[in-house]
Amino acid sequence: MSSSYPDQSSLVTAVGLLVAIVAVVGTQVFGWEWGAGQLAPTIIGVVVAGVAVVVVVRRLVK
């Protein structure tokens, strides 16, 4: 697949793995829970969702 962003797939995968690790550690170590009124998991979720939307839009535009 030719792209002006050849390493984007690897970068997106790495970011996804990092977010998954943060989510697991946050849940197990810090007691983060969705809907518990905690700000950290909400901010992380919103940022990751925003990145996902940008990635999908960029792929659809190509």
CB atoms within 10 A of CB 26: 16
What gap in Å lies between CA 45 and CA 22, rounded to an integer? Answer: 11
DSSP reduced 3-state for 2 = coil
Domain ranges of the chain: 8-61
Q: How far is CA 53 from the centre of its chain?
A: 10
Q: Which of 11, 42, 12 is nearest to 26 (CA)?
A: 42
CB atoms within 10 A of CB 11: 11
The reply to whether the predicted model has a pTM over 0.85 is: no
What is the pLDDT tens value at each position of the chain, 62 positions in all?
445 555 567 777 787 888 888 888 888 898 887 777 778 888 888 888 888 888 888 888 87
